[in-house]
């Protein structure tokens, strides 16, 4: 694909996703308001469109993560270099996670989104219960079978295996060089496959939005309008803080990076799926001058440890539930809750509805009723859209910052782009 054709193609994709988003809103509201008899049919169509796309994306995630990580570590070569890059980016992840929790905590205390809510009767949320057990989490990190991990798309376990595999290549001599070349070729192929799959992205966006609004209508958005407005305002404030910190490291290079991140962020927002945006995010980072060896190393780690939007929701959601039930939490307890969430949020990579799962695990530890999650369940899809977009943005910034720290962030597309 020529460099002249690439921007035009990118614009077409972005416009197609935006058009699909608008059509999804209009169609969903029309079905809910004027064709209530066809709501079930609309949901079925939405489920097919979204499900097909997400299955195709999940199909390429495991081999793509493996190939990009192994080739990235293989190109880094020196073990000390891998540790330096990994150590720096993990420190960035920890700082961003802590900052995100504080933003959610302060915003919830200032905006008081739960004030005036009358909590509904407890609903059955047993399926969300997933208490955080440190020992189980540590054991879970190490896969018993890489094939099983790939079959389940357990990113964290794939990351561990791929890092060890990549670090083993230099010791294997000629065979290691062959495997490094093979993994590079595999990443080429998987990214080309991704390009083919991304043709269906607008259909998935249309289905996701249309199905949600056909089922719930605009009433649920109006009912929870204040909460949604305050949550989205907090997300915007978080974006400003993340962008400001990224600018401190990247300087003028941030502007073209943001331009390239628009499409993966928009895709993540529309589908409420971080997985759907991963391959596109990898491609756009390379176009922004982040070498494949850095992006392929940082992004899988980020998808396990750097979910800025999901983490911010932990503190915001917990304080919202406390306010909705009229429970006062002193600041000492709130700070302790932030520290607990810092740990528990690292143990839910790959868990469906991860933000709710972690929230349910933490609430009882601070005297907050688990039934409070019922207040959020109805609008969680719309919350998840914003959380996912923030996760994608945060990981995009992290990869670029890591490349800048290593002195390999180029002005145009990265030389080792695939």
Dihedral of CA atoms 209, 211, 215, 217 in degrees, nearest 10, equals: 30
User: Which tokens hold the place of 242?
Assistant: 């993340």
Residue 89 lies in a domain: yes
Q: Which residues contact 232 (CB under 8 A, 6 or more apart)?
A: 386
> On the CB side of 214, how many CA atoms lie within 13 Å of its CA?
24
* CB of 24 closer than 8 Å to CB of 213: yes
**Start-to-end C-alpha separation, the chain:** 11
| Predicted local confidence at residue 378, as pLDDT | 64
Residue 5 lies in a domain: no
Residue 237 lies in a domain: yes
User: Which tokens hold the place of 274?
Assistant: 């971080």
Tokens 């081999």, residue? 63
Cβ–Cβ contacts within 10 Å for residue 63, how many?
A: 17
Residue 246 lies in a domain: yes
- CA-to-CA dists, residue 231 to 141, 227, 342, 398, angstroms: 32, 6, 20, 23
Q: Which residues contact 290 (CB under 8 A, 6 or more apart)?
A: 399, 400, 403, 409, 414
Which stretches of the chain drop beneath a pLDDT of 70?
Answer: 1-11, 75-79, 117-134, 137, 220-221, 223, 343-354, 357-358, 361, 371, 374, 377-378, 412, 414-418
| Predicted local confidence at residue 316, as pLDDT | 95
Residue 417 lies in a domain: no
User: Which tokens hold the place of 281?
Assistant: 């995010």
User: Which tokens hold the place of 329?
Assistant: 């939490």
Tokens 């880094």, residue? 76
> On the CB side of 129, how many CA atoms lie within 13 Å of its CA?
8
Domain holding 50: CATH number?
A: 1.10.3860
| Predicted local confidence at residue 82, as pLDDT | 73
Crossing angle for the helix pair 225-250 and 79-111, to the nearest 10 degrees = 140
Residue 296 lies in a domain: yes
Cβ–Cβ contacts within 10 Å for residue 323, how many?
A: 21
* CB of 296 closer than 8 Å to CB of 279: no
Structural domains of the chain, count: 1
| Predicted local confidence at residue 126, as pLDDT | 47
Torsion sign (Cα): 149, 154, 157, 158: positive
DSSP string over 1-40: --TTHHHHHHHHHHHHHHHHHHHHHHHHHHHHHH-GGGHH
Cβ–Cβ contacts within 10 Å for residue 7, how many?
A: 12
CA dist., res. 265 & res. 280, Å (int): 10
Helix/strand/coil percent split, the chain, to 5? 80, 0, 20
| Predicted local confidence at residue 351, as pLDDT | 47
Residue 411 lies in a domain: no
pTM, two decimal places: 0.73
- CA-to-CA dists, residue 351 to 304, 313, 370, angstroms: 11, 16, 18
282-308 pLDDT, tens digit per residue, is 889 999 999 888 888 888 888 777 889
CA dist., res. 269 & res. 273, Å (int): 7
Q: Distance from CA of residue 315 to its chain's centroid?
A: 17
Helical residues (DSSP H) of 217-325, grouped into ranges: 219-223, 225-250, 254-271, 274-287, 292-305, 308-324
Range of the domain at 23: 10-406
Residue 365 lies in a domain: yes
* CB of 53 closer than 8 Å to CB of 271: yes
CA dist., res. 290 & res. 298, Å (int): 11
């Amino acid at each position: 694909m020529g460099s002249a054709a690439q921007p035009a193609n990118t614009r077409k994709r972005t416009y197609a996703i935006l058009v699909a988003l608008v059509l999804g809103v209009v169609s969903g509201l029309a079905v809910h308001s004027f064709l209530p008899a066809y709501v079930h049919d609309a949901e079925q169509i939405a489920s097919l469109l979204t499900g097909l796309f997400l299955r195709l994306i999940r199909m390429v995630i495991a081999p793509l993560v493996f190939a990009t990580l192994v080739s990235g570590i293989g190109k880094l070569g020196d073990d000390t270099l891998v540790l330096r890059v990994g150590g720096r980016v993990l420190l960035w992840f920890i700082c961003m996670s802590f900052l995100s929790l504080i933003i959610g905590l302060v915003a919830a205390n200032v905006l008081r989104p739960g004030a005036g809510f009358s909590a509904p009767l407890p609903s059955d949320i047993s399926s969300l219960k997933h208490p955080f057990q440190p020992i189980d989490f540590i054991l879970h990190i190490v896969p018993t079978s890489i094939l099983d991990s790939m079959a389940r798309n357990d990113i964290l376990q794939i990351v561990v295996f791929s890092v060890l595999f990549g670090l083993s290549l230099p010791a294997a001599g000629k065979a290691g060089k062959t495997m490094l070349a093979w993994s590079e070729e595999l990443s080429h192929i998987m990214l080309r496959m991704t390009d083919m799959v991304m043709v269906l992205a607008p259909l998935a966006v249309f289905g996701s939005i249309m199905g949600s609004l056909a089922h719930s209508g605009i009433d649920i958005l109006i009912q929870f309008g204040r909460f949604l407005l305050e949550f989205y305002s907090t997300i915007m404030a978080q974006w400003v803080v993340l962008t400001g910190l990224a600018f401190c490291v990247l300087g003028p290079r941030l502007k073209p990076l943001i331009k390239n991140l628009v499409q993966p962020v928009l895709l993540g927002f529309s589908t409420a799926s971080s997985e759907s945006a991963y391959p596109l995010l990898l491609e756009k980072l390379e176009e922004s001058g982040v070498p494949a060896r850095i992006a392929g190393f940082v992004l899988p780690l980020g998808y396990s440890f750097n979910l800025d939007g999901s983490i911010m929701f932990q503190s915001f959601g917990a304080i919202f539930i406390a306010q909705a039930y009229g429970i006062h939490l002193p600041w000492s307890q709130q700070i302790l809750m932030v520290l607990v969430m810092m740990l528990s949020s690292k143990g839910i990579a790959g868990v469906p509805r991860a933000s709710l799962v972690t929230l349910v695990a933490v609430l009882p530890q601070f005297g907050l009723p688990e039934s409070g999650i019922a207040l959020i369940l109805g609008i969680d899809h719309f919350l998840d859209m914003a959380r996912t977009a923030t996760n994608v943005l945060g990981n995009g910034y992290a990869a670029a910052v890591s490349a800048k720290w290593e002195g390999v962030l180029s002005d145009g597309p990265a030389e080792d782009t695939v």
